[in-house]
Amino acid sequence: MDNLNGAKPHFVIVPLMAQGHMIPMVDMGLLLASRGATVSFVTTPVNAARIKPVIDGASDAGLPIRFVEFKLPCEEAGVPEGCESFDLLPSVDFRKPLFEAISLLREPLKLYLEEAKPRASCMIADICNWWTTEVARELNIARLVFHGPSCFFLLSSRNIHQSNVYETVADEHESVVVPGLPQRIEITRAQAPGWFFEWKEMQERVMEAEEAAAGVLINTFQELESEHIALYIESTKKMVLPIGPLSLYNKDAKSKATRGNKPSIEEHQILRWLDSMEPRSVLLVSFGSMVRTRPPQLIEIGCALEASGRPFVWVVKEAEKCADVEKWMSEGFEERMRARSLVITGWAPQVVILSHRAVGGFVTHCGWNSTLEAISSGVPMITWPHSGDQFLNEKLVVQVLRIGVSVGIKVPVFHPEEDKVAVERDAIESAIASLMGGGEEGDERRMRARELGEKACKAMAEGGSSYKNMTLLIQFALEQCKQ
């Protein structure tokens, strides 16, 4: 461990069981362990089985990280057995019960902490795990919160909430200017309704959990959002440490491919295909772990990809594939696209793909992990937000960083049951043309993306801003050991 004179802090990480939260927190745990800290990572049987290659890899490398399995009381909370992560839920109606089930880990966590050796010096809890506040307080353990979204989103949401700006408009589709940002950014309440807007009680608990925390960790980097980070510190008056992009912890294709689920394609297969493509020529289309695209919209995307004339990797989820889509694909599309496409059904090794030199563009739902992974690889984006923090992330990518082209969607897609087409093929095709071509404007966009990618790598390398913040985090935990 660097300059810590042999002393070792013990971090206990309590993630939210959702891929978009779990994946960066696993990276964070591995990173802390690789720098010599002892780490206990809380998980459950289904989640542990999903990340078995990570657990085995950490053990083979002798990293001081243990994955602590607690049984998730699904039945007690009304969650179908085995659905231990948000992406595994059969319907959105089970979201609240799953939050409830996770909060029931309070007692086993407390017991673990009471007996942990060495004693836990610092807890890092996902912001959604508000119930950890009480556990940490009772046991007198310092607690930091981990934020999955961008600082731009956190600051915007905070300012919107504190200013009550939505009360100045009658309609949820009427734009307001987000107060207190260095840029003029307009948003609607429908696009950015705020944390847990439908569950007021949960919203208050999450805000209290942040208020009570000794500090805040964000998966971002100083050079990407410096103005927003400074304003967020000013507003929260807390220790705020940008420690990302955490995905850059994974250096080789093998470790990149172990993030999340088991990929439905071998990494050497995808690498062979990408190796055969021209640099920066391929478009990746993938919408994270939660979005479910309905058949008519999938067909619309397929038609746009065909019309674009560009090579592409298209990730279609198991849950999205259905007889209609399979029939449409087999009636000519697959055959016509064979030479220039790879359709991955299931989980794709996203970072393996994004970090390959053949990839020149990414059609994304603007989940923060996906956005930051594209930024880390210097890949510009077509932004297609669906809900949550994604519309604000789109503003950051398109208006502030100017490394993206919006597909033009204005209204969130909350009800994937609906068979409506939200974006027509012509709009998708035109966004592809301007992202992958786009003349001088396109070249400048690509150049900005490339520069940000370089800055991201520097931030994570020894001596970089996120590396130094990790050191501060470790030192903070060491201070707690002395108290």
Instruction: Tell me if 313 contacts ligand UDP by CB under 6 A.
Output: no
Least Å distance, CB 250 to ligand UDP, is 11
Instruction: Tell me if 348 contacts ligand UDP by CB under 6 A.
Output: yes
CB-CB contact of 382 with 364 (8 Å): yes
Interface residue with ligand UDP among 29, 288, 302, 385 (CB under 6 A) is 288
Q: Give the separation between CA 251 and CA 268, rounded to whole angstroms.
A: 16
Listed ranges 15-23, 202-210, 332-340, 441-449: which one lies at the site for ligand UDP (CB under 6 A): 15-23
Cα–Cα distances in angstroms (integers) from residue 213 to residues 126, 252, 269, in the given order: 11, 35, 45
Residues 92-131 that bind ligand UDP (CB under 6 A): none
Ramachandran area for residue 191 (φ above 0: left; ψ -120 to 50: alpha; else beta): alpha
Residues 129-188 that bind ligand UDP (CB under 6 A): none
Instruction: Tell me if 347 contacts ligand UDP by CB under 6 A.
Output: yes
Instruction: Tell me if 370 contacts ligand UDP by CB under 6 A.
Output: yes
Output 22 or 213, the one with its CB closest to ligand UDP.
Answer: 22
Instruction: Tell me if 376 contacts ligand UDP by CB under 6 A.
Output: no
Output 244 or 367, the one with its CB closest to ligand UDP.
Answer: 367
Interface residue with ligand UDP among 12, 16, 23, 375 (CB under 6 A) is 23
Whole-number CA gyration radius for the chain: 22
Angle of the 465-482 helix axis to the 19-34 helix axis, nearest 10: 70
CA proximity to 24, closest of 209, 236, 221: 221
Q: Give the separation between CA 331 and CA 109, rounded to whole angstroms.
A: 53
Listed ranges 17-25, 399-407, 410-418, 475-483: which one lies at the site for ligand UDP (CB under 6 A): 17-25
Output 109 or 224, the one with its CB closest to ligand UDP.
Answer: 224
Instruction: Tell me if 401 contacts ligand UDP by CB under 6 A.
Output: no
Listed ranges 18-26, 61-69, 203-211, 446-454: which one lies at the site for ligand UDP (CB under 6 A): 18-26
Instruction: Tell me if 311 contacts ligand UDP by CB under 6 A.
Output: no
Interface residue with ligand UDP among 89, 109, 315, 325 (CB under 6 A) is 315
Least Å distance, CB 270 to ligand UDP, is 12
Q: Give the separation between CA 286 and CA 225, rounded to whole angstroms.
A: 25
CB-CB contact of 58 with 250 (8 Å): no
Instruction: Tell me if 393 contacts ligand UDP by CB under 6 A.
Output: no
Angle of the 439-460 helix axis to the 465-482 helix axis, nearest 10: 30
Instruction: Tell me if 290 contacts ligand UDP by CB under 6 A.
Output: yes
CB-CB contact of 126 with 16 (8 Å): yes
Number of residues that bind ligand UDP (CB under 6 A): 19
Least Å distance, CB 153 to ligand UDP, is 11
Tokens of 256: 């990149």
Cα–Cα distances in angstroms (integers) from residue 170 to residues 151, 166, 175, 189, 398, in the given order: 28, 8, 10, 10, 27
Least Å distance, CB 415 to ligand UDP, is 16
Exposed/middle/buried for 64, CB within 10 Å: 0-12, 13-18, 19+?
middle
Output 315 or 375, the one with its CB closest to ligand UDP.
Answer: 315
Instruction: Tell me if 20 contacts ligand UDP by CB under 6 A.
Output: yes
Least Å distance, CB 279 to ligand UDP, is 22
Listed ranges 172-180, 343-351, 405-413, 442-450: which one lies at the site for ligand UDP (CB under 6 A): 343-351
Tokens of 414: 């909350």
Instruction: Tell me if 404 contacts ligand UDP by CB under 6 A.
Output: no
Output 394 or 429, the one with its CB closest to ligand UDP.
Answer: 394
Tokens of 92: 């959105």
CA proximity to 381, closest of 396, 188, 389: 396
Listed ranges 195-203, 206-214, 346-354, 446-454: which one lies at the site for ligand UDP (CB under 6 A): 346-354
Q: Which residue is nearest to ligand UDP (CB)?
A: 20
User: Tokens 């669906």 — which residue?
Assistant: 386
CA proximity to 355, closest of 263, 464, 248, 461: 248
Output 22 or 277, the one with its CB closest to ligand UDP.
Answer: 22
Q: Give the separation between CA 470 and CA 186, rounded to whole angstroms.
A: 34
Residues 6+ away with beta carbon under 8 Å from 146: 13, 15, 25, 28, 124, 125, 126, 127, 217, 218, 219
Residues 255-274 that bind ligand UDP (CB under 6 A): 259-260
Q: Which residues bind ligand UDP (CB under 6 A)?
A: 19-20, 23, 259-260, 286, 288-290, 315, 347-348, 350-351, 367-370, 373
